[in-house]
Amino acid sequence: MLPFKTLIIIDESSSVAVYRQIADCLIVMITDGVIQPGTFLPSTREMAVLLDKHRNTIVAAYEELITQDWIETLPRVGIRVALDLPLIKPRSFQEGGKNKTYSDPAKFSFRHDIPGPVQHSFPLKRNSIIVNDGFPDADLAPFDSMLREYRKLMQGSRLKTLMSLKDFGGTQALKNSTVNFLNDSRGLNISTDNLLITRGAQMAIYLAAAMILKPGDHVLVSDPSYYIADEVFKQLGANLIRIPVDEHGIDIEGVENALKSTKISLLYIIPHHHHPTTVTMSQLRRTRLLELIRSYQLPVIEDDYDYDFHYNNSPVLPLASSAHNSNVLYIGSFTKLLAPSCRIGYLIGAANFIIQATNLKRLIDLRGDTMMEEALSVIINNGELDRHIKKSKKVYNERCDQTSLMVANQLSHAVDFTKPQGGLALWLKFKAEYPLGDIISKARSAGLLFAGTAYYEGEDQKHNGMRFGFASLKESEMQRAVEILRKITI
């Protein structure tokens, strides 16, 4: 017989009744396999003696187990562990491969109005060319420098200390480096109190919007706009008001009219290399927009995801660098400067806003990647990042020239486009006789996969346009991609 006295541990001081403690221990023994199905248990009288408890206590415990189907009484034979255990069947008991727990769809109500990305067809054809929205070239990424810093960090004790502390939205070292980097490159004049480190610009957009928007609020966005930002605002319950974009940026009169007629809670704007159209907002509109921001006290998310890649001349400074009465929340990312996998972005705002945004970030993403943040801080401080930007800017500028030339020469029958002043993508507007859906599916069959966001559905149908990210393509790949597009459009 099992040493029940040792196995069944009773805490008399517990608030849990003794009979239930006994029942509980027996269930654990059964589910752990210590007592096998079909095994007879000691009678209540025997068990009472074994455990030195009143018999009624044992009776109550057994009754509990019977109610729960763990044990069964065979009249005049005894009490045995059920042959068919009620519930907790280890995996080996289950019929092979049959999913018992998640075979049904979830039946409780949940929000289900978020459109998802279009699935890629897997497996990709061998040698397929992938054209994305405008990602940096992972082959150029400063992984060597990052890994060198990782190794150094592993050897010291600093990393362990940092990892043991709470995260207040980025390591102090990265906050300091980022402040210097932004003040130098963008004419900002911020301190670390104005900065929150995020997982890429996307999280910064989400946090800023979630801080500001209430259901039913109105948000001004451009038409077209960055698709996934639109979805963020919708998800938070906001109504979008779309203002057209032309070759000088968003239509400022449209913005002003909207402000006059409606209570606007937020303007989302991408002044540099607008997504998707690649347009850079003119100085004049910039000036007017700043006036509107100040006079209406208009909260703004300025998404400047692509600032560092400007080819023709020095980039226009962000709105955030001018007087805006703390209304402009400035968002950017190191991701485009490093690699798609290195998702470190930032949100800039007034100190009181940043404190709350940091608290909100913690609820969504408890800690950043301490190791990556520290390594990035080192390569900002020692100048490697600046050198890397200079080097990759040169490459991307060439690729922009090359792709633009190829598109102009080979696709002008089908495509309208303007060579952008900067950024990592072209905006190809297909003429109406080339519906984008057809183009994309024909291209895929021919080995050219568009992994970016196409603008050809619903309200966006009128744009019939698509981002053509050139930055991560070698010249031969651009050539093949453009050739495929030519072939399927003639």
- Candidates 3, 75, 105, 458: give the one binding its own copies (CB under 8 A): 105
Contact 220, 371 (CB under 8 A): no
Q: How many C-beta atoms lie closer than 10 Å to residue 244's C-beta? A: 10
Q: Can you read off the two tokens belonging to residue 438?
A: 């057809």
Cα(473)–Cα(479) distance, rounded to whole angstroms?
9
Cα(84)–Cα(87) distance, rounded to whole angstroms?
9
Interacting positions 148-167 with its own copies (CB under 8 A): 150-151, 154, 159-161, 163-166
Nearest approach in angstroms of CB 353 to its own copies is 4
Distances (CA, A) of 134 to 119, 303, 385: 18, 15, 20
191 is a site residue for its own copies (CB under 8 A) = yes
122 is a site residue for its own copies (CB under 8 A) = yes
Question: Binding pattern to its own copies, positions 362-381, x when CB under 8 A?
Answer: xxxxxxxxxxx---------
Nearest approach in angstroms of CB 468 to its own copies is 13
Nearest approach in angstroms of CB 154 to its own copies is 5
Phi, psi for 360 (deg, rounded to 5): -65, -40
Nearest approach in angstroms of CB 35 to its own copies is 12
3 state DSSP class of 302:
strand
202 is a site residue for its own copies (CB under 8 A) = yes
Interacting positions 411-450 with its own copies (CB under 8 A): none
248 is a site residue for its own copies (CB under 8 A) = yes
- Candidates 121, 125, 139, 438: give the one binding its own copies (CB under 8 A): 139
- Candidates 188, 454, 478, 484: give the one binding its own copies (CB under 8 A): 188
Nearest to 201 by CA among 104, 270, 247: 270
Buried b (16+ CB within 10 A) or exposed e, 281-308: bbeebbeebbeebeebebbbbbbbbbbb
Cα(149)–Cα(177) distance, rounded to whole angstroms?
15
Interacting positions 311-370 with its own copies (CB under 8 A): 313-314, 316-317, 320-328, 339-343, 348-353, 355-356, 358-360, 362-370
Pick the piece of the chain touching its own copies (CB under 8 A) from 13-21, 387-395, 435-443, 478-486. Answer: 13-21
290 is a site residue for its own copies (CB under 8 A) = yes
- Candidates 5, 54, 89, 394: give the one binding its own copies (CB under 8 A): 89
Q: How many C-beta atoms lie closer than 10 Å to residue 123's C-beta? A: 7
Interacting positions 23-52 with its own copies (CB under 8 A): 23-24, 27-28, 31-32
Contact 430, 439 (CB under 8 A): yes
Nearest approach in angstroms of CB 283 to its own copies is 4
